[in-house]
A and B are shown apart, each in its own frame.
Chain A
């Protein structure tokens, strides 16, 4: 643990307006393979993870409130960057008006990237007590329409301002776990689409091993019991995974409820735990404790523990973002995804 108290000073969330229902998939394919997902969010034609990251970055700064020129560290996380080689953070920094001299990093290789970027931000404000880190996670993962992993893929973004002042939630501690697993959710060098070999039990064993190891390590480090947490946020490749992990760690559905974004937005990839954490911060009360456990294939997990210390909320709430929607059908969805060549 750091000697200075650090944590989240502001946050912002964004959900693209378009939605597709599971019934539309069922009509097209005869079934829908994303457990527990009722509908999911879809980016418009002129959006990508950088435009979404710019939007949530602004919202997060406004929620403190602080100005873009106070930022000394910027980190962006996504598994679906618009370029495979080219700095991503610069686009967002210039658009938001952050100083060009701020240290930046792009975290893009797994769905764990969201918490990876947050921890990079926390390390910065631990080492630089006057520092202000802005971390944006935005994702809209893309897979082949023929791949069942595609059914769950949604879109969303969240950003956090991390510092040692004006805190909404203190970081109590964190723990990580990394290991070697393969065959699940990967993109080879010459591919732009996410693959999955569909070895379900094997994927599940990786998920359970990594997520519970990071989570349990953090509980042990803090001397906490699972029931001491008011809210628990777990990576959501679908809306069933949190319950699977939760059951192993003795977390209840009630603890998971506020952060279950996949039910209405689908799999948000690297933005899954960040968006879900923002949804939890919207409803959390002073004194509440929040556990966040991410997971990325390959594989690894980060666990972070927060204590809520202020009732200050972001102006644009997660629920308002989730409620603002326009439904599209499957054909329009395919056109937007560029699947009809």
Chain B
């Protein structure tokens, strides 16, 4: 398992629970997850915090099946079956990787509108690691 220590995970709570990103004061691009130096202009480390809407579209995705899941997600695959992992283009610009929850894996499509909600990501050291996952947007 890719070990993420409790303090390290804790530091990412604003981005994982609430999608807090950083907007570059120089070029205006939104960095998510947050970066030390703007990954778009490479010329600024001055940002303002911005809460992303969570809305976006599926850019591309894969279905993870038996044997394909990383160890921390193996139990999820065994109990819940195949699950989709997508790269989502958020409406503020960034492309973000995340699972798609609350959907039949067969119904996941490119360009499908999604939004985010809090889910359990995995449990390590007896600590439940919560964070966002994508879910199909409800009309």
Which residues of the other chain, A, contact B80 by a CB distance below 8 angstroms?
44-46, 335-336
What is the chain A residue whose CB lies nearest that of B138?
Answer: A316
Are B130 and A91 in contact (CB-based, < 8 A)?
Answer: yes
Are B51 and A46 in contact (CB-based, < 8 A)?
Answer: no
Decide yes or no: A46 and B133 within 8 Å by CB, A55-B117, A338-B79 being known contacts: yes
Which residues of the other chain, A, contact B133 by a CB distance below 8 angstroms?
46
Selected from A51, A55, A82, A326, the residue in CB contact (under 8 A) with B104 is A326
Selected from A97, A336, A338, the residue in CB contact (under 8 A) with B18 is A97
Are B138 and A54 in contact (CB-based, < 8 A)?
Answer: no
Which residues of the other chain, B, contact A50 by a CB distance below 8 angstroms?
118, 130
**Chain B window 22-59, contacts with chain A (Cβ cutoff 8 Å), 1 for yes, 0 for no:** 00000000000000000000000000000100000000
CA distance A47 to B80 in the complex (A): 11
What is the distance, in angstroms, from B109's C-beta to the closest C-beta of chain A? Answer: 17
What is the chain B residue whose CB lies nearest that of A43?
Answer: B120
- Docked complex: A299-341 residues within 8 A CB-CB of B: 316, 326, 332, 335-336, 338
Selected from A47, A82, A316, A335, the residue in CB contact (under 8 A) with B78 is A335
Which residues of the other chain, A, contact B119 by a CB distance below 8 angstroms?
46-47, 51
- Docked complex: B115-139 residues within 8 A CB-CB of A: 117-121, 128, 130, 133, 138
Q: Does B63 contact A (CB under 8 A)?
A: no
Q: Does A94 contact B (CB under 8 A)?
A: yes
Decide yes or no: A54 and B117 within 8 Å by CB, A44-B80, A94-B13, A335-B79 being known contacts: yes
30 CB-based A-B contacts, threshold 8 Å:
A17-B102, A44-B102, A45-B80, A45-B120, A46-B80, A46-B99, A46-B101, A46-B119, A47-B119, A47-B120, A50-B118, A51-B117, A51-B130, A54-B118, A55-B117, A55-B118, A82-B128, A83-B128, A91-B17, A91-B130, A94-B18, A95-B17, A95-B130, A97-B18, A97-B51, A335-B78, A335-B79, A336-B79, A336-B80, A338-B79
B: which residues have CB within 8 A of A?
Answer: 13, 17-18, 51, 75-76, 78-81, 99, 101-102, 104, 117-121, 128, 130, 133, 138
Since A44-B101, A45-B76 are in contact, a sample of 12 more A-B pairs with Cβ atoms closer than 8 Å, ordered by chain A residue number, is A45-B79, A45-B120, A51-B120, A83-B128, A94-B13, A94-B18, A95-B18, A95-B130, A316-B138, A332-B81, A335-B80, A336-B79
